[in-house]
């Protein structure tokens, strides 16, 4: 069931680190510290203005009303009005600035996250569903926004007020002050108890949301398969499981969240009762004046206002903390080492050599065993073998998509690992069977790097691959908009896009995972020509499926269960009457 699936395997084991998280967020705030300190200043200024307002009101009552003076009434009322106007300006500016800074900070964070994602090794993407990563980049980062605008700054303002009131009460009358603050630890305990639970609930909810998104992404991509096999009902059922999980997780958070404010209400009543009873007794013992008691009552009321505000925001805070955790957990995934570090591979001189090379994705199942091959510059080499023989793995390794440790791969006698990944990836092009198509125009799909379009180069490529006739079939030629996943392209057109990409990169070494899907004879002819032209000038490794390609190769390597079992030309290998011969008979005879 869904519980043991690929989608639920991660997520819930991130550690609890609050202070750690704050420390991680700080550098982002630093970049905008100017704006940020202005916002903080505005928060304090706003609070100060707001606190001063009752003062003007009181003065207006004392001097204006009681003193029966119209003049001083107008004077203090004007002060009050000006104060309010000032507050309006300050709070507008504060709101705007908080939003602005918050968005800027998040933009940085999102970019960093995306950059980090570009640097993660392929093995990470092998085990992480796309939907889950998309959730982190959009949803979780957006939730984190609340941390800046709503929680972090206003909460610190509220806390300041709390302290101010607490200190004022204690200076007015120490014992009564202590009595009034007696319940604060209780408040703190409730907050602490619920904080962890709310946090767990949110964390759970966020994880469930990510799973839901992953399921969603997959089902949308596979919609036609679902339709063809009438599996709408069963898919709906699976989705519903996830949706229900999410709902339950959210309802959990509602449960704890609903606890908090009521708890604050009760603590408030207890505090008020304590102040009334103790203060009242003090008054009746003539220890304090009744005026002081009234002030205390006012202060307790004032004290609980920020408490209420904070407790409202604590959910926001916890929810964004849960998101922050997920964002930073992704940030903590080990990146590939700097892809630009190392020697530049820009000129392939003589040989590419595999020496005693072995590789496995997981320890108990070796994919390639003790491989020894040398390929000279300009050679066109075919690799053949059954599926699962390790052909595609060799390609991925040469591209440095996976780390290896056993044996060596040498280019011109230099260890492949000494070259920078970036230059190796640029210098060695891989054309895969499954051509990934991006939405955008045909042009964008060929010149993947933005702004590198070069009409001359394009024309040269079109000429060389003789693909004009195929382009003519597209309604707007190179400017044709291509749908996501290339829904409006034929298999042949996709293949050609992949070839064009390789031509644009103009690599030193070309690896071609020859497409197996058959195309019509016209396109087939174009593709065959293209393969010949692509590989004639360059050192090329072809994972070959077509007999015609194999025959055009200088040498054929036969792989079986990760081992090189035979090599030679087509004729030599047939004459040897070994593994290749069998393979040949199986694949190409009737």
Partner 1 sequence: MQPESHNSNPDKHWFTLQLLKPYRKQLFFGFLSLLIVDVLDVLPPIIIKTAVDSVENGPGTKRLYYCGLILVSAAVIQSFFRFLWRRYFLGTSHKAVYDLRKMLFSHLLKLPFHYFSRTRTGDIMSKLTNDLQEIRFMLGIGLLIMLDASFYLLTIPFIMLYMSSRLTLITLVSLVFIPILVFSVSRAIHNRSKDVQARLSDLSSQSEENISGIRIIKGFRCEESELKKFNRVGLEFVRDKIRLANVDSIFHPALDLVIAASMVILMLFGGKMVIAGEITLGVFIAFQAYLLKLSWPMMAIGWVINLYQRAMASLERCLQILIEPPADEHKRKPPVNFENLGLEVENLCFCYPDNEKPALKNVSFSLPQGKTLGITGPAGCGKTTLLRLLVNLFDVSSGSIKIGGHDIAELDQQQLRSLFSMVSQETFLFSETIRENILFARENKIDADLAESYARKAGLEPDLKEFPEKLETMLGERGVNLSGGQKQRVSLARAMAADRPFLLLDDCTSAVDTETEKEILYGLKEAGKQRTCIIVSHRMVSLQNADQIIYLVDGQIAESGTHRQLLELKGHYAKTWERQRLKEELERGLS
Residues 238-267 that bind partner 1 (CB under 8 A): 239-240, 243-244, 246-247, 250-251, 254-255, 257-259, 261-263, 265-266
The residue from 14, 35, 73, 172 that contacts partner 1 (CB under 8 A) is: 73
Here's the x/- map for partner 1, 39-68, by CB under 8 A: it reads as ------------------x--xx--xxx-x
471 binds partner 1, rule: CB under 8 A:
no
Other C-beta atoms closer than 10 Å to the C-beta of 126 total 10
Window 363 to 382, contacts with partner 1 (CB under 8 A): 364-365
* Side-chain half-sphere CA neighbours of 269 within 13 A: 5
Distance CA 76, CA 60 (A): 5
8 binds partner 1, rule: CB under 8 A:
no
Distance CA 91, CA 99 (A): 12
> In this structure, what token pair is assigned to residue 392?
């595609």
DSSP strands (E only) in 117-193 = none
The residue from 126, 346, 356, 415 that contacts partner 1 (CB under 8 A) is: 126
Least distance from partner 1 to the Cβ atom of residue 281, Å: 6
Least distance from partner 1 to the Cβ atom of residue 47, Å: 14
69 or 376: whose CB is closer to partner 1?
69
173 or 425: whose CB is closer to partner 1?
425
Q: What angle do helix axes 455-465 and 521-536 make, rounded to 10 degrees?
A: 110
Least distance from partner 1 to the Cβ atom of residue 246, Å: 7
The residue from 3, 19, 171, 228 that contacts partner 1 (CB under 8 A) is: 228
Question: Is 57 within 8 Å of 34 (Cβ atoms)?
Answer: no
Window 431 to 450, contacts with partner 1 (CB under 8 A): 432-434, 436, 438-439, 448-450
Other C-beta atoms closer than 10 Å to the C-beta of 452 total 10
12 or 82: whose CB is closer to partner 1?
82
Window 142 to 161, contacts with partner 1 (CB under 8 A): 142
560 binds partner 1, rule: CB under 8 A:
no
Other C-beta atoms closer than 10 Å to the C-beta of 97 total 20
217 binds partner 1, rule: CB under 8 A:
yes
26 or 251: whose CB is closer to partner 1?
251
Window 83 to 122, contacts with partner 1 (CB under 8 A): 84-85, 87-89, 91-96, 99-100, 103-104, 106-107, 110-111, 114-115, 117-119, 122
The residue from 19, 171, 387, 577 that contacts partner 1 (CB under 8 A) is: 387
* Bridge partners, residue 510, by sequence: 429, 540
Window 167 to 206, contacts with partner 1 (CB under 8 A): none
313 binds partner 1, rule: CB under 8 A:
no
288 or 462: whose CB is closer to partner 1?
288
134 or 478: whose CB is closer to partner 1?
134
Q: Which residues of 311-345 are buried (b: 16+ CB within 10 A; e: fewer)?
A: bebbbbbbbbbbbbbbbbbbeeeebbeebeebeeb
Kindly list the distances between the CA atom of residue 1 and the CA atoms of 5, 8, 21, 226, 237, in Å, as whole numbers in the listed order.
7, 11, 34, 18, 11
48 or 225: whose CB is closer to partner 1?
225
569 binds partner 1, rule: CB under 8 A:
no
The residue from 406, 524, 529, 563 that contacts partner 1 (CB under 8 A) is: 524
Task: Measure CA 408 to chain center.
Answer: 34
Least distance from partner 1 to the Cβ atom of residue 529, Å: 14
Distance CA 172, CA 381 (A): 91
Least distance from partner 1 to the Cβ atom of residue 20, Å: 26
> In this structure, what token pair is assigned to residue 573?
């290998």
Least distance from partner 1 to the Cβ atom of residue 516, Å: 4
Kindly list the distances between the CA atom of residue 534 and the CA atoms of 117, 248, 323, 449, 456, in Å, as whole numbers in the listed order.
32, 56, 48, 21, 18
Distance CA 207, CA 129 (A): 13
The residue from 191, 226, 292, 471 that contacts partner 1 (CB under 8 A) is: 226
562: left (phi over 0), alpha (psi -120 to 50) or beta: left
DSSP code at position 60: I
Distance CA 86, CA 88 (A): 5
Helical spans, DSSP H, in 478-546: 491-505, 521-536
| DSSP letters for 215-251 | HHHHHHHTHHHHHHTT-HHHHHHHHHHHHHHHHHHHH
Backbone angles phi and psi of 187, in degrees to 5: -60, -45
21 binds partner 1, rule: CB under 8 A:
no
Least distance from partner 1 to the Cβ atom of residue 269, Å: 3
22 or 53: whose CB is closer to partner 1?
53
Angle at 374 between CA 369 and CA 376, to 5 degrees: 150
453 binds partner 1, rule: CB under 8 A:
no
Window 474 to 513, contacts with partner 1 (CB under 8 A): 475, 483-485, 487-488, 490-492, 501, 505
Pairing of strands 509-513, 539-543: parallel
């Amino acid at each position: 069931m869904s519980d043991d699936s690929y989608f639920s395997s991660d997520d819930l084991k991130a550690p609890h680190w609050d202070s750690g998280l704050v420390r991680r967020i700080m550098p982002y705030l630093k970049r905008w510290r100017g704006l940020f300190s202005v916002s903080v200043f505005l928060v304090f200024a706003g609070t100060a203005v707001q606190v001063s307002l009752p003062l003007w009101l009181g003065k207006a009552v004392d001097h204006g009303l009681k003193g029966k003076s119209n003049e001083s009434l107008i004077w203090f009322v004007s002060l009050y009005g000006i104060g309010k106007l000032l507050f309006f300006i300050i709070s507008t500016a504060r709101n705007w600035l908080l939003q602005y800074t918050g968005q800027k900070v998040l933009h940085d964070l999102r970019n960093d996250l995306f950059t980090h994602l570009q640097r993660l090794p392929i093995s990470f993407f092998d085990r992480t569903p796309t939907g889950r990563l998309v959730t982190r980049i959009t949803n979780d980062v957006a939730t984190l926004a609340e941390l800046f605008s709503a929680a972090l700054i206003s909460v610190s303002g509220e806390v300041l007020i709390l302290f101010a009131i607490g200190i004022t009460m204690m200076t007015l009358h120490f014992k009564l002050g202590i009595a009034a603050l007696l319940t604060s630890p209780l408040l703190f305990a409730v907050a602490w108890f619920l904080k962890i639970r709310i946090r767990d609930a949110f964390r759970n909810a966020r994880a469930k949301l990510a799973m839901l998104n992953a399921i969603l992404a997959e089902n949308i991509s596979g919609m036609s398969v679902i339709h063809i096999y009438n599996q709408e009902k069963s898919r709906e059922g699976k989705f519903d499981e996830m949706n229900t999980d999410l709902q339950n997780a959210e309802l959990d958070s509602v449960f704890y969240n609903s606890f908090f404010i009521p708890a604050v209400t009760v603590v408030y009543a207890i505090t008020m009762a304590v102040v009334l009873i103790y203060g009242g007794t003090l008054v009746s013992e003539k220890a304090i004046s009744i005026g002081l008691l009234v002030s205390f009552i006012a202060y307790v009321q004032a004290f609980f206002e920020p408490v209420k505000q904070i407790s409202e925001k604590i959910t926001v805070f916890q929810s964004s903390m849960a998101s922050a955790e997920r964002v930073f957990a992704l940030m903590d995934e080990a990146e590939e080492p700097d892809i630009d570090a190392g020697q530049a591979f820009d000129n392939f001189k003589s040989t590419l050599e595999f020496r005693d090379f072995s590789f496995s994705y997981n320890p108990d199942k070796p994919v390639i065993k003790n491989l020894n091959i040398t390929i000279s510059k300009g050679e066109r080499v075919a690799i053949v073998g059954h599926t699962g023989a390790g052909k595609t793995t060799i390609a991925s390794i040469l591209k440095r998509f996976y780390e290896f440790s056993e044996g060596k791969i040498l280019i011109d006698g230099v260890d492949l690992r000494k070259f920078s990944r970036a230059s190796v990836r640029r210098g060695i092009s891989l054309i895969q069977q499954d051509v990934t198509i991006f939405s955008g125009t045909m042009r964008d799909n060929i010149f993947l790097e933005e702004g590198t379009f070069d009409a001359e180069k394009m024309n040269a490529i079109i000429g060389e691959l003789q693909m004009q006739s195929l382009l003519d079939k597209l309604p707007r030629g190179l400017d044709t908009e291509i749908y996501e996943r290339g829904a409006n392209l034929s298999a042949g057109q996709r293949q050609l896009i992949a070839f064009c990409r390789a031509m644009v990169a103009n690599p030193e070494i070309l690896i071609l995972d020859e497409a197996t899907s058959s195309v019509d004879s016209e396109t087939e002819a174009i593709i065959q020509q293209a393969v010949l032209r692509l590989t004639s000038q360059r050192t090329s490794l072809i994972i070959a499926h077509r007999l015609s390609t194999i025959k055009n190769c200088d040498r054929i390597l036969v792989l079986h269960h990760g081992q090189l079992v035979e090599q030679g030309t087509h004729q030599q290998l047939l004459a040897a009457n070994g593994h290749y011969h069998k393979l040949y008979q199986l694949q190409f005879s009737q």
